[in-house]
Structures are given as C-alpha cells and as structure tokens.
Homo-oligomer: A and B are copies of this chain.
C-alpha cells in the first residue's frame, strides 16, 4: 500500500471506474502496475474503498506523478474531496469470478454464488467485460428456475428494501418489446384513485425507444430520493418514479450499463431483474403483462406460458402474489413511439379526448381492472367497470395531475421534434402487419429515448385500409444526423405490410 494525492480528472466514463496514474509515478514501476490492471483505492482511515481500472497518463496536466487521478464517478465514490491522501494497491480478483467461470463451463450456481456475484457487482468490483461474461453465460445456457430465484434474492439483498406497512401494495410490469405500450401511466392514477397503494418505480429504456421513466420525465421529475419517494407515496398513494436513484436492487442498474450496449435481455435475467425491483419496492401483489406477437419479445403462447410459470415460481417462493396477463403484441399500442409522443397519447386518454388511441385506453382499463380486483372488497369481474368509471369521471386525470405536481412538474416539457418526415404507403389494401422491432429501431435512430421529442407517430394500425401515397407514420427528430439515419432506415423498410386480410394471432 502506498500514498498518493487524490485528484479529480474531469472525464465522464459512464459507470466504469477509471483511475489515472502518471507513467513517472514512483509507484507505477515500484509496484509493477500495468495499464488495464484493476487497483484498489482506500481512504487512509480505511472507511472508503473502491476498485478502478488503471489508465496510464503521460501528461502532468491530467495527473501529476504524485497524484492519483479519478474519473468523475469514481471521484464521487471516494468522497469527492481533492488533495486528500489515499492508498492504492493491486486489486485482487473478485472472489465470485470463480462462480462466473463455473457458469460459463455449464454448471448451475447456488444461492451463495449469486449472493457473492451480486455483492461484488454492487461494490463495483466487476469490470465491464466481467459483467458481460456473466450476462452472456446466464443468457446462453440459461438459468434453472432455482438459479433465477437465487439471483433475484441476491439482487434484493444488495440494496434497500421498502416496507409500506400495509397488507396490499400493488404494482404492474410489462416485459416490454411493444413500442408505445405506455399503460403504466394510466393504470397508476386509476388504481391510486381507487385508493390502492401503488408506489411505481420504473427503469429507463434499455433497448426500446422509451421506458416509463423516460416518458414520465416529459411531465415531471422522476429521479426521487428514497425520502421524497416515501413522502409522495404517503400523500398520493402512488408515484411514477425512476427506480435507479431509489437504491432498490442497484445491481440491476449496474448490469444495464452492459446489457444496453450488448442489447441483451434473457428470460432468467428478465425475471430476476423485474421481481427484485418489485420486491425491493415493497410490492405484495403484482400484475405482469406479457405481449405475444411475431415481433414481440415472446412470439408464441407456449413460450409465454413457460415465462409465466417462471414468474409464478419465483414470486411464490418470495411471497409475492403474481397474476400474469397475456396480451396482443402484434403491433405497437397507441400512436406515439418516443417519450414526448407517448406522453401525448397518455394525456389524451386521461382527458377522455375523442382523439385518444382506443387500444391504449382499452388495454389500460383491462389491466387496471385486474389490479383493482386484488382489493378483497371488489367482486371478481367488477374491476373493469370500476376502472372505467374512475377514468371517465376525470378522477384518474386529477390523480395524475396531483402526482405530477408532487414529483415536480416539468417547467418546460420537451416538444415533439421539429424535423418531421412522413412515410407513405407504396401499395393499397389493408395493413396486415406492423413490425414492432423495425418501428422501435426507426424511433431509436431518430434519437429516442435520449432525445425526448424524437420518435414515430403512427397514422395507421392493423386492419386499417390504406391507399397508395397515404401516410403510414411520421418520423420526428431533434437533430439532423439522427433524422437522416431514421429516414434512410424507414425507406429501406417501413415495417408495414399491406394485403387483403389480417391474420388474427391475438392470444
């Protein structure tokens, strides 16, 4: 162990800790460090300790020979105070890597293995490539259902866990894959207006053009401290927050930094990621929406049923009442794809606007109805009617406005992108299929979710009649380069097919 002066290197490395050591630093040679080695950095009192990947610097203006430079996030983790003395040493490999190698060679892992892996990841001991190795190993041979249970447990244990002190804390989740499927922002105000407790935390988009957190952010602040989240839920019986800042199952948020660039999303990881977040958030009853469709994440009923069994198995063993609903995933839900466009759809439904997309409204009422039936005072089958009354009476809208104000209304909500291009039909007939993946791809190229105003707005849906030259959808973007990428892609493949009759594959 040897002492250096801490210095902030103003570089944003996005979730990977990087330390900068000057090539002439006496420790660099005397301890035989190498670029890409992982080093452990300790405060002198030993209270704080982090792991970072080493970059070697040849420029005093970045880091002097007697300094240890840290990238912004690592600097924060060490307390954010420049000039203090720190010790550095070779980092030992995270002990849990042995388990990852066993998984790679095909073994199943036990609870202790997953607990070790989760602990090491939570304390930033894993490098990006080690996380990638773990994710690929899990996704490839897949996880036994007990492994999914262990991983879920381990992810919950590494973070805070909320306890609402009530017997009925409801939540909902969609496994995703369907663009524009923004039912959560309708279900939460409806269910909360019925008086149920629904402290909803959502993640941002991983591979999709918008997550609920991205879309809600158009209307209000979503990055709430655990304390803020509590206060809002106590007052409103609900919230629509981003899960990341709440320190619930943080391992999941760290893994996302690798899942995203790899666009990985395996069943076991999915179930563990979803259920760990829900349980950490204190949910007791949960509705899960599994859309089925040729271009949905789940393409047929039998795979959907297998996934449902996995959810139920893990839920039952962790004391969570789960109802899994299989829904129609043959096309996007609503019209907008992208944060600003999707929040527009949501507000149209809440306002009972005649122009509101009916499919979004209907699906939200169905799911809200199922949740309302978790209420022991509600007869089976009555949920839908209660949900519809709440929506039509304007109580859902009022509740949404209250939630938005409580979280902090966005003073200047992002507008829909000012670059606009209409994609038109090349032949006439009936819309026979809409490719969820291609439309999500176009919306992402246009800049969603990072550019909130970017995305796609659908003018036609399955079964609609179309004439040559009619607009199928519009592309919106905020920046020229993105706009061009999206247009090119849409010209190569609009994602729409037209013919004579829709094949009905709805579940």
Q: Could you tell me which A residues sit within 8 Å of B by CB distance?
A: 1, 9-15, 20, 23, 30-32, 34-36, 55-59, 61-62, 71-72, 89-90, 101, 104-106, 127-133, 135-137, 139-141, 257-258, 261-264, 447, 450-451, 478-482, 485
Contacts and interface: CB of A to CB of B under 8 A. Distances in A.
Given A61-B61, A136-B137, 17 more contacts: A9-B59, A10-B57, A10-B58, A10-B62, A11-B55, A12-B35, A13-B55, A14-B35, A14-B56, A36-B257, A61-B62, A90-B485, A101-B263, A128-B128, A128-B129, A130-B262, A141-B141
A247 B128 CA distance: 28
A20 B14 contact: no
Contacts of A485: 90
Contacts of A36: 13-15, 257, 261
Nearest to A16: B36
Contacts of A264: 104, 133
Contacts of A139: 104
Contacts of A132: 128-130, 132-133, 136
A481 B89 contact: yes
Contacts of A136: 104, 132-133, 136-137, 140
Contact of A32 (B23, B128, B482): B482
A35 B61 contact: no
> What is the count of identical protomers in the complex?
2
Contact of A129 (B35, B56, B72, B129): B129
Nearest to A106: B140
Contacts of A131: 129
A55 B264 CA distance: 23
A140 B104 contact: yes
A252 B128 CA distance: 20
Contacts of A482: 31-32, 90
A481 B137 contact: no
Contacts of A105: 140
Contact of A478 (B32, B72, B90, B106): B32
A43 to B, nearest CB: 19
